[in-house]
């Protein structure tokens, strides 16, 4: 099964601590953050990877090249202009030839077992499955509400959230039929594509594994101080 990593982010909020590199290339203990995501895939025998690049994508491409140094097969989908996560996914989807595939955000790390998420997706006969991370403080994320069977019923926006709950963990299993249903142009996967799948085969699987999103300087600085949290599968 192939995995698409959405790595086109510019990381404007990280400008106080990093400059002139794509957000997923933010360094942690001598490695770019993106490398930990790639090593997580490799550790679970997922070796066919598509990296969707945008802002200064040549930095990513020059570092990872064809993946041979990691015993991986890496391809690239390059944005000529910002497409958003949904638009970037549609473009990268041109390289997908499987019925199902993995999608990962390039600026978050969620220490889950992919086989569990894939099995859940297949068991539910889902069109799309989202990994859900438990967070005690979720104001910055919003949260996801699900029914007893795991079907997602609602996305609650930031600022309207209770103090604790489950948030989007940034790892998805999607059926390839979705690719051509994503509108052309700049589209958000999180706020436009996924909400439209409610009651149409959208499920969520809860995990209590380590999760971090480096989109804010304080979170990036925290993981720089405690990089061991990224090492369990790397």
Kindly state the percentage of the chain with pLDDT values over 70: 91
Question: pTM of the entire structure?
Answer: 0.93
Residue 181: what pLDDT? 94
Decide if 43 is inside a domain: yes
Decide if 59 is inside a domain: yes
Decide if 234 is inside a domain: no
Domain of residue 205, CATH code:
3.90.550.10
Task: Domain of residue 37: give its range.
Answer: 3-228
Decide if 205 is inside a domain: yes
Decide if 233 is inside a domain: no
Residue 178: what pLDDT? 95
**Own/partner pairs for 96-101, CB < 8 Å, 24+ apart?**
96/2, 96/4, 96/50, 96/176, 96/179, 97/2, 98/1, 98/2, 98/176, 99/175, 99/176, 100/1, 100/173, 100/174, 100/175, 100/176, 101/1, 101/2, 101/3, 101/4, 101/173, 101/174, 101/176
Sites in the chain below the pLDDT cut of 70: 11, 13, 15-17, 137-141, 159-162, 227-229, 231-234
Decide if 7 is inside a domain: yes
Model confidence pLDDT, tens digit, residues 168-182: 999 999 999 999 999
Residue 233: what pLDDT? 47
Number of domains in the chain: 1
């Amino acid at each position: 099964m192939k995995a698409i990593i959405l790595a086109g982010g510019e990381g404007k909020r990280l400008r106080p601590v990093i400059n002139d590199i794509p957000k997923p290339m933010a360094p942690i203990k001598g490695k770019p953050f993106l490398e930990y995501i790639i090593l997580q895939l490799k550790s679970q025998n997922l070796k066919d990877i598509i990296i969707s690049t945008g802002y200064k994508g040549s930095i990513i491409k020059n570092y990872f090249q064809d993946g041979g140094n990691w015993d991986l097969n890496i391809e690239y989908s390059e944005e000529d202009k910002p497409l958003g996560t949904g638009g970037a996914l549609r473009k990268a989807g041109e390289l997908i030839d499987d019925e199902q595939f993995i999608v990962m955000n390039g600026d978050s790390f969620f220490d889950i077992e992919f086989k569990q998420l894939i099995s859940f997706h297949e068991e539910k006969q889902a069109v799309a499955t989202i990994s859900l991370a438990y967070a005690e403080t979720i104001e910055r994320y919003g949260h996801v509400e699900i029914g007893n069977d795991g079907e997602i019923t609602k996305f609650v926006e930031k600022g309207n959230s209770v103090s604790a709950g489950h948030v989007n963990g940034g790892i998805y299993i999607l059926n390839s039929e979705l690719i051509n249903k994503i509108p052309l142009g700049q589209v958000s996967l999180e706020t436009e594509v996924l909400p439209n799948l409610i009651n149409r085969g959208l499920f969520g699987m809860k995990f209590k594994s380590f999760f971090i999103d480096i989109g804010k300087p304080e979170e990036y600085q925290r993981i720089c101080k405690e990089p061991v949290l990224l090492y369990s599968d790397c």
